[in-house]
Structure 1
Amino acid sequence: MDSVAKQEMSNIDKDTGFKFFFKNFHLLFFKPSLFFKDLDLLNVPLLVYISLWLIGISNAVDRIDQKLIKTDLGTVTSSNQLLLDGISGGWIVFFLMVAGIGVFGAFFVWFIGGWFYNLRLFWSGAGDFDKVNGRLIYVFSNLVVAIPHIIVLLVSATYYQDYASAFNAEEYWSSLIIIFPFWAIYVSYKAILANFTVIKWKAIIWFVILPVLLYMLAFGVVVWAYSNLA
């Protein structure tokens, strides 16, 4: 670590949990190497549980979006119609729905997502390492996507009568959230380099190139589907 980074690290308070998180929240986005430098500061159960829940909520909204896209493209199923009926009940119903789904989704984020993240670390040459640390990086780097996503939802709730209206609105400012999955890739990669000894070119493949291609493919499929099938 260079002298500037060492000085910045020494200026970070050694508070743990929420106090550390909120004092240094900006570092998560702009200086992830410093934010993740001491993972013990983040390894606080309640903070991890709440972070997992927020990610679970964001993932639940993504699943709802997928069903709404299929509905727009004419693929209407009974489950899609049930979902439409539910989210048309207003924002309170919508937020209760995604909050409940988010609780269950949190388990998949930690166990399944964290397991595959650690597997990619192993494939990147990390060798024997603390699997909890890998999961902590996976969780908190995903907040880079989840928190802006939830903020956009809260702002949308002040403009539209329900989520279906917000989803179908012809505005583009909310599309800015597509930036954050790519930003999260950067955050995750920098956190890995700050905590693990990896083979750099392998880490770039597993944590930069392939995730970027996956997101680009997903966005491309959606654009193609609306252009050709709607």
Structure 2
Amino acid sequence: MENASKFWIQLLVYPKEFFKSHVLENKLKYFNFAIVVFCLGYGIDRLEKQLVKFEIRGILDKLEFINTWTGFWLVSLAIGAIGGYILYLIGGWFYNVRVKWSAGEGNLEKSRALYLYSNFFISLFIILDSLIETIIYPIPYDPYSYLQSFEIIAIPLLFFFIFHSIYISYAGVTTITDVKKGRAIIWFLVLPILVYLVVYIALISILYSYF
């Protein structure tokens, strides 16, 4: 347990040393665990967004089972098992493409490891957030509930892990691959940040216009 804690703390706090020690030397510890966390986090995230869409379309009441905690977790597991693993494969492949666009020599296995580990803490946060919500809220999504103090804390934490994951990715790719840093800044820092900003601004605008 202590070794596992050190492993993940090193990834969070010292990503350059982490990738040198583990990915560069092909010592991929807890890799299957990271895949499970990634896939489940993806499943939860997709379902949460889908519940909002169902409410906007006025069909959430017809899909009552999904908006129970039992249904929510079962559907999230199903989505994650299929869609999450597909995303891991495609996301790792595109990560490798970006390495090549950054004038680096591609390595698909290494790129998938970089992609997976750099997204670990976002996925873990999503899972832990949903576990806490399962305890304190009666249903997964209530469009009529007020913003709670827990959510006020969770939202900035989510943004922290999102943008920190971008830093982890950049630190990893510039440490264990031969990319040119100028190009890597564009493909692994600037563009990912812009994509997240555009997506969340668009989402907030849609929700604001709806309510």
| TM-score, structure 2 as length reference | 0.86
In the other structure, the counterpart of 2:51 is 68
> After the TM superposition, which segments of 4 or more aligned residues of structure 1 sit over 6 Å from their partners?
none
1:141: how far off? Answer: 0.7
Q: For this pair of structures, how many residues does the alignment match?
A: 205
In the other structure, the counterpart of 2:155 is 175
1:71: how far off? Answer: 3.4
CA distance 1:20–1:206, shift in 2 (3 Å):
farther
1:217 aligns with 2:198: yes
1:61: how far off? Answer: 1.9
1:192 aligns with 2:173: yes
| TM-score, structure 1 as length reference | 0.80
Matches within 5 A, 1:46-195: 47-72=30-55, 74-76=56-58, 84-89=63-68, 91-127=69-105, 129-165=106-142, 168-171=145-148, 172-176=152-156, 177-195=158-176
Q: After superposition, give the CA deviation of every residue in 1:157-198 in whole Å (9 maximum; x if it has no partner).
A: 111122124995512222131221111000000011110111
Q: Is the deviation greater in 103-112 or in 139-148?
A: 103-112
RMSD across aligned C-alpha pairs, in angstroms?
2.3
Q: After superposition, give the CA deviation of every residue in 1:91-117 in whole Å (9 maximum; x if it has no partner).
A: 233222212221112321332111001
- Residue type matched to 1:100 in 2? A
CA contact (8 A) 1:145 1:180 kept: yes
1:85: how far off? Answer: 1.8
- Residue type matched to 2:84 in 1? A
In the other structure, the counterpart of 2:16 is 33
Q: After superposition, give the CA deviation of every residue in 1:70-129 in whole Å (9 maximum; x if it has no partner).
A: 234x3245xx666x423333x2332222122211123213321110010001101112x4
Alpha-carbon distance between aligned partners in 1 of 2:145 and 2:11, rounded to the nearest angstrom = 32
Q: Structure 1 regions of 5+ residues with no counterpart?
A: 1-17
Q: Structure 2 regions of 5+ residues with no counterpart?
A: none
CA contact (8 A) 1:57 1:105 kept: no
CA contact (8 A) 1:156 1:166 kept: no
Q: Taking every aligned residue pair, what percent have the same amino acid on both sides?
A: 25
CA distance 1:167–1:32, shift in 2 (3 Å):
farther
Alpha-carbon distance between aligned partners in 2 of 1:42 and 1:152, rounded to the nearest angstrom = 30
CA contact (8 A) 2:43 2:84 kept: no
Secondary structure of the corresponding residue to residue 37 of structure 1: helix
In the other structure, the counterpart of 1:14 is none
1:203: how far off? Answer: 0.4
Alpha-carbon distance between aligned partners in 1 of 2:155 and 2:143, rounded to the nearest angstrom = 12
Alpha-carbon distance between aligned partners in 2 of 1:36 and 1:167, rounded to the nearest angstrom = 45
Secondary structure of the corresponding residue to residue 171 of structure 2: helix
Alpha-carbon distance between aligned partners in 2 of 1:156 and 1:143, rounded to the nearest angstrom = 20
CA contact (8 A) 2:67 2:139 kept: yes
